[in-house]
A = this chain, B = another copy of it.
Amino acid sequence: MEEAIDLETLCQQKGLRMTDQRRTIAAVLSKAKDHPDIEEIHRRAALRDSRISLATVYRTMNLMEELGLVDRHEFGDGRARFEAAPDAHHDHIINVETGEIVEFVDPELEILQRQIAERLGYRLVDHRVELFAVRLNQDE
């Protein structure tokens, strides 16, 4: 039973100056259940407050990413997509037929990756797993 992440509060805790624009963008990301790109974030933010420029969205996303408040994804379509940093790490399955993105967590996968890195003499600091797949049955 988790509430949407309160990104605005996290921003304040990080000492960010809270402008109306940042509040709006934080709200958009907090309630987003998908992985919107910059244009889409801007579109949604503009619905709440039309005084928000694309440049501000770019700057805000870079800022929040550096602070670890949002995750940036590059799913291979040429633009960055974002999501509020989840409490727990997860990976993604991309349905190559529909573009739909499904999140999943697999502890075994997490452990295995750490082991692989260590076996090769590395300490894992981050990782990315993207599974490109199609639905099993033909029920769409």
Q: CB within 8 Å of B: which residues of A?
A: 74, 76, 93, 95-96, 102, 104, 106, 108-109, 112-113, 116-118, 120-137
- Set B95, B121, B127, B131: member contacting A135, Cβ < 8 A: B121
> How often does this chain occur in the complex, in copies?
2
- Check A127 against B124 for contact (C-beta < 8 Å): no
- In angstroms, Cα B113 to Cα A130, docked, is 10
Is B131 a contact partner of A113 (Cβ separation < 8 A)? yes
Tell me whether A117 and B135 are in contact (CB under 8 A): no
Contact of A132 among B95, B124, B136 (CB under 8 A): B124
- The answer to whether A129 touches B129, judged by C-beta atoms less than 8 angstroms apart, is yes
Q: A102-B120, A113-B129, A127-B131 are in contact. List 5 more A-B contacts (CB 8 A).
A: A116-B131, A122-B134, A123-B135, A124-B133, A125-B133
- Say yes or no: A122 contacts B131, CB within 8 Å: yes
CA distance A94 to B90 in the complex (A): 19
**Across the two chains, which residue of chain B brings its CB closest to A106?**
B116
A112 / chain B contacts, CB cutoff of 8 Å? 106, 108-109, 112
A132 closest partner in B (C-beta): B126
With A106-B116, A117-B93 known to touch, is A132 a contact of B123 (CB < 8 Å)?
no
Contact B117 A133 (CB under 8 A): yes
